[in-house]
Amino acid sequence: MEKTDDIQSCQNEHEEDIPTSSPFDFVMKQFQGKQSSPGKRKERPSAIKKFFRSFDFGKSEGKDRRETEETEINNSEADDQSEKQDLSVGDGLSHHISEAESPSGEQRFNQFMQKLGKKANSKNLDLNNCALSAADVTELASLLPFLPELEEINLSWNSCVGGTLKALTVHLHHVNLLKVLRLNNCRLTAEDVTSLGEAFEIVPQLEELDLSWNSNIGGKLSLLTKKLRKGCKIKLLKITDCNLTAKDGESLAEILNVIPKLEVLDLSINKHIGCSMKVIAQDLKNVPGLKELNLHMCGLKQDSLQGLDTALQHLAELRKLDISCNKEIGGGFKDSTAHLASLKNLEVLDLHQCCVTEEDMTVLSQVIPLLSSLQELNLSSNKNVGVSADPLLGRLRFLPKLKSVAISNCCLHEESFSSLAEAALHLPELEILDLSWNKCVGGNLKLLWGALKLATEIQVLRLSSCNLVAEDLVLLTLLMQDGHLARLRKLDLSYNNNISDEGNDYCQKSSDDFRWTHCRFANGGKWLGCANRGGWAV
C-alpha cells in the first residue's frame, strides 16, 4: 500500500515539474518545429515569430530575457545578411546568363526590320508605308541608341505614327547625325508638332524635313517654327497639302531668316496661304541660295504675284518655279514679270492653269525667250496661249535647251500650231511634246513632219483628243519606217474618234519593230491595243 502511495506521489511530483502546455505553445511549435535541412539556406524569421518574441513562454525575467532577445536579434541579422549574399550571388549569375542569352542591339534591329519585311541599313531607315503600329514606333524608339550612324528616317504613310511621335523624338539625341526626316501622311497631331520642334536642338545636322499631307498641322505651324534657331542647316522644307492658314504663312516667313541654306521650299496645295504670300515673299531675300520654289495651288492672287516678282531679284540661283493652278493671278503677269527674265539659271517654269490673259501673253512672249537655261515649259490649260496674236510659241526657237514642252488644252489654231512646228525645228534636245486636247492638230500633223524627223531625242509624244485622222497615223508610220522616232517610248493617241480601224491597223502593224513601253490607241473612246517592249499586245 505504501509502495502504491509512493509511486503515486512520485508521479504527482513529476507531473508538477512538467510545464502546462498553452495554445501559444501549439502555435510556436507549428513555426519552430521544422528545422532547416542541411545544405539549404536558412529560412528568414517570419513576421509571426517576431510578433510572438515579445511574449514570455515560461522563460526567466530580467537579464536572461534580454540576453535571449539579443541572441535572437543577432541571429536574425545574420540570417538576413546571409540571405542577401545568397540573393546577390543568384542575381549576378542570372544577370550573366541573361546577357549571354539576350540578343544584341544590332540583332534586335535586324529582327525588327525583318518583321516588317525590310532590309536593315544602319544609315538609312526606310519604313515608308509599312503599316506601323503604335507599339512598332515605341520599339523603334528603343532601338535608336544602337543606330549612331543613322542619317535618314522615312516613316511616311504610316497613320499610327500620329500621336506617338514623342516616344521617338525623345531618343533622337542618339542619332545626332540625322540629315533626313520624312513624315508624309502620318496624321501628326499638335503634340507631335510640338515634340518635333523640341527635337530640333538635338538633331543639329538635319537638312531635309518633309511633313507633307498632314492636315492637322494647319494653324499649328508656329509650334514647330518657333523652336528653330539661327544657323539651322535645313536645305529642304516640304509642307505640301497641310491645310496651312494665313497665320501659318506668317510663322513660316519669320523662320526664313534662320534657315539661310534653304534650297527647296514646297508649299503646294495650301489654298489659304496665298493671303500671306506677300509677307513670305518679303523674307525670301534671306534665302538667296533657293533653287526650287513650289507654290502650286496656293491661292495666289495678282498682288501675291507682284510681291513674288520683287523677291525674284534676290533668287539668282533659282532652278524651278511652279506657280501653276493659281487661277486668280491671271491678268497679273503684265505688271509682275520685271525680274522673271533675270533668272538666268531657271530650268523649269510651270504656269499651267493660271488663266493667262492675252495681255499676259504679250509680256510672256517677251520674257520667256530670255530664260536661256530653260529646259521644261508648261503652259497647258491656258486657252489664250493658242488664240493670242503674240508669237510666243514661235519664239521658243531661242531656247535650244528645251527638253519638255506641254501645251495641252491651249486652244491652238492652225497659225499658232504652225509657229510651234517651225520653232520645234530648232529644239534638238526635245524629249517630251504634249499637244493633247488641241483639235486643230487633226489633219495638220504634217506641219510637224520636219520637226519629228529631226527630233532624234523625242521619247514621249502625246496627241490625245486631237481629232486625228487616218492620214496622221499614216504619217507617223512612215516616220517610223524611215528610221525616225527611234527613241520613242510613249505614244498617246487616245480619244481620237475620227481614226478609222484601217488607220489603227496600219500603225499597229508597223509598231512591231519599236520597243515602246506605252502606247494608246482608241476609236470611239475604247482601247484597241497597247504596245510594249518586244511586241504588240491587243
Per-residue pLDDT tens listing for the chain (538 residues): 444 444 444 444 444 444 445 544 544 555 455 444 444 444 444 444 444 444 444 444 444 544 545 555 455 555 555 554 554 444 444 444 444 456 788 999 999 999 999 999 999 999 999 999 999 999 999 999 999 999 999 999 999 999 999 999 999 999 999 999 999 999 999 999 999 999 988 999 999 999 999 999 999 999 999 888 888 999 999 999 999 999 999 999 999 999 999 999 999 999 999 999 999 999 999 999 999 999 999 999 999 999 999 999 999 999 999 999 999 999 999 888 889 999 999 999 999 999 999 999 999 999 999 999 999 999 999 999 988 767 899 999 999 999 999 999 999 999 999 999 999 999 999 999 999 999 999 999 999 999 999 989 999 999 999 999 999 999 999 998 988 999 999 999 999 987 765 555 555 554 444 444 455 554 433 333 333 333 333 2
Residue ranges making up the domain that contains 505: 431-538
What H or E segment, with its residue span, contains residue 266? strand 264-266
- For 289-328, how does the pLDDT look when each residue is reduced to its tens digit (9 = 90+)? 999 999 999 999 999 999 999 999 999 999 999 999 999 9
d(Cα 345, Cα 265) in Å, to the nearest integer?
Answer: 17
Residue 524 maps to a domain:
yes
CATH of residue 481: 3.80.10.10
For 286, residues 6+ apart whose C-beta sits below 8 A from its C-beta are: 256, 257, 260
Percent helix, strand, coil in the chain, to 5, is 45, 10, 45
Residue 230, in any domain of the structure: no
CB-based contact 387:414 (threshold 8 Å): no
Distance CA 57, CA 70 (A): 17
Whether 408 maps to a domain, the answer reads no
Q: Tell me whether residue 471 is in a domain.
A: yes
Per-residue model confidence (pLDDT) at position 81? 55
Report if residue 64 sits inside a domain: no
- CA neighbor of 348 nearest in space, from 363, 367, 368, 325: 368
Looking at residue 437, what is its pLDDT? Answer: 97
Q: Other C-beta atoms within 10 Å of 97: how many?
A: 10
Q: Is residue 503 part of a domain?
A: yes
**Inside any domain, residue 531:** yes
Question: Is 538 within a domain?
Answer: yes
**pLDDT tens per residue across span 236-270:** 999 999 999 999 999 999 999 999 999 999 999 99
Query: How many structural domains does the chain have?
Result: 1
Determine the pLDDT at residue 42. 43
What's the confidence (pLDDT) of residue 533? Answer: 34
- What H or E segment, with its residue span, contains residue 100? helix 63-101
